[in-house]
Amino acid sequence: MRITQGFTFEAAHFLPHVPETHRCRRMHGHSYRVDLTLEGPVDPKTGFVVDFFDLEAAFAPLMERLDHHCLNEVEGLENPTAELIAIWIWDRLKPGMPMLAAVRVYETPMSVAEYTGA
């Protein structure tokens, strides 16, 4: 069984390693969406793979570091592309949430990066 819970946060960033003429080189903001997908068996007693409230609680400390911040100032996100944000979330969430199967970061509704640990 796979379950997914979505989260949204607002943040600013700029991409320091793109050419000076690239529009993302300048500071700008996004309404990000993060989908966390977990995979595992359904517990016959609870009926859950993982309680969504437990997933929300596990993600809360990361959300606090991301929401309404300049991502370039977050340790480990000095080059905050959607791809690197997904890996950053994975690296911090996976140790305590072993059933994590995918992290998707939507920079816009049409642009998404997915990381599965590979």
Which residues are tagged catalytic? 24, 68, 107
Burial profile 22-47: b = 16 or more Cβ within 10 angstroms, e = fewer? eeeeeeeebebbbbbbbeeeeeeeee
Asked if residue 50 lies in contact with residue 10, where contact means CB atoms within 8 angstroms, the answer is: no
The residue to which tokens 């069984």 are assigned: 1
For 24, the 3-state DSSP assignment is helix
